[in-house]
Amino acid sequence: MNTANLWTNLALVALLAGATLWLLLHGRSTRARIAQRVRLGAARASATGHERNVPQQLAHKVATIGERMPIIDAAERGKLATRLASAGFRESRAVSILAGLKIVCGACVAFGAIALAPHLPRIGGYFVFRLLAMAGAFVIGMMLPEYALGYAIKRRQRAISAALPDALDLLVICTNAGNSLVVAIKRVAAELHTICPPLSDEFSVTADELQIGSDSAVALNAMATRIGLVSMRALVTTLVQSQQYGTPITQSLRMLSRTERSMQIIALEEKAAKLAPKMTLPMMLFIMPTVALIAAGPAIIRLIAVFHHH
């Protein structure tokens, strides 16, 4: 790499660092920065006597970066908070940590693009190409935490969907024993703690909200919104209707449990039916040539020997 390319790369690094510093320093007003200092001082005062471990310190620094981002407005932060709650992250600074991760990932990917772009043949020597590669890598890096969050939400939903029929059976047993809705949900949450921690966590939060006097319909609908499953929405609708009209919920919960198990069996049968077409291509590529070679190999060897003698 010659001197001109070296100075060009240093200029790109300085440009990205300056943009990041501008986002960190000018993203908030003076009053907001003073309030942030007051909150940080209170947090340090409350944390005296015990040191944070390394992950907590990193999370704190990333959250500080995220709190100073001017490119995420209140509406976007509300959407991120909803998605984070669906993934099981309900901490007060979860949105700030995710926003900070977006900036950190974008900067890391952009630095990687700056380092790799000059080594590309033909086009790597152009300054415009390196600038575009840096900008594109920064945008892609900011999108990576969003994809990771979506994967975490889907994985959590699959775990909750698999354990929901057992939870419904436990709710039926608790209601038949004469327990109230809050006691039944708490009992089920305790039983599911080792089997399905995500569903146990959601039931525990909902039971706490019901116990402190919150509206039952609002608390149950909030749980259905956080989980985002059709079966959970059906369960919440059944519980809300039983609370409003005083109807017994045992039979309804038993029917929901049977329906959920039937849907799971149907989903497994659908996956099993799709397995045969998926196995066709691997069989044609890896199994059929081997079988043909074993079956026709001796005959081909004999034919080669016969023609060789003639």
- With respect to residue 115, please indicate whether it lies within any of the assigned structural domains: yes
Q: Are residues 130 and 214 in the same domain?
A: no
- With respect to residue 222, please indicate whether it lies within any of the assigned structural domains: yes
- With respect to residue 28, please indicate whether it lies within any of the assigned structural domains: no
- With respect to residue 280, please indicate whether it lies within any of the assigned structural domains: no
CA–CA separation, 84 vs 93, rounded Å? 11
pLDDT at 2: 53
Provide the pLDDT confidence category of residue 285 given band limits of 50, 70 and 90. Answer: confident
Structural contact between residues 72 and 83, judged by C-beta atoms closer than 8 angstroms: no
- With respect to residue 50, please indicate whether it lies within any of the assigned structural domains: no
Q: Are residues 151 and 176 in the same domain?
A: no
Nearest alpha-carbon partner for 124 in 243, 4, 245, 226: 4
Q: Are residues 13 and 87 in the same domain?
A: yes
- With respect to residue 35, please indicate whether it lies within any of the assigned structural domains: no
CA–CA separation, 10 vs 104, rounded Å? 19
CA–CA separation, 54 vs 60, rounded Å? 10
pLDDT at 155: 92
pLDDT at 70: 62
Q: Within a 13 Å sphere around the CA of 224, how many CA atoms are in the beta-carbon half? A: 17
Nearest alpha-carbon partner for 114 in 131, 98, 128, 100: 131
pLDDT digits (tens, 9 = 90+) for 7-58: 565 555 555 555 554 454 444 444 444 444 444 444 444 444 444 566 777 7
Instruction: Name the more confident of 308 and 71.
Output: 308
CA–CA separation, 191 vs 183, rounded Å? 12
CB atoms within 10 A of CB 173: 16
pLDDT digits (tens, 9 = 90+) for 61-92: 766 766 676 656 667 777 888 888 888 888 87
pLDDT at 154: 92
- With respect to residue 18, please indicate whether it lies within any of the assigned structural domains: yes
137 pLDDT higher than 80: yes
| Number of domains forming the structure of the chain | 2
Residue type, 160: I
Give the residue from 222, 245, 263 where a domain finishes: 263
**65-102 in b/e burial notation, b at 16+ Cβ within 10 A?**
bbbbbeebeeeebeebbebbbbbebeeebbbbbbbbbb
Q: Are residues 13 and 145 in the same domain?
A: yes
- With respect to residue 75, please indicate whether it lies within any of the assigned structural domains: yes
Give the residue from 125, 155, 185 where a domain finishes: 155
Structural contact between residues 233 and 241, judged by C-beta atoms closer than 8 angstroms: no
Q: Are residues 131 and 239 in the same domain?
A: no
DSSP SS3 for 44: helix
Q: Which residue range forms the structural domain that includes residue 74?
A: 3-23+58-155
Mean pLDDT, to the nearest integer, of 159-183?
Answer: 86
Q: Are residues 125 and 206 in the same domain?
A: no
Nearest alpha-carbon partner for 235 in 138, 176, 163: 163
Percent of the chain residues topping a pLDDT of 90: 4
The tokens of 255 are what? 């029917």
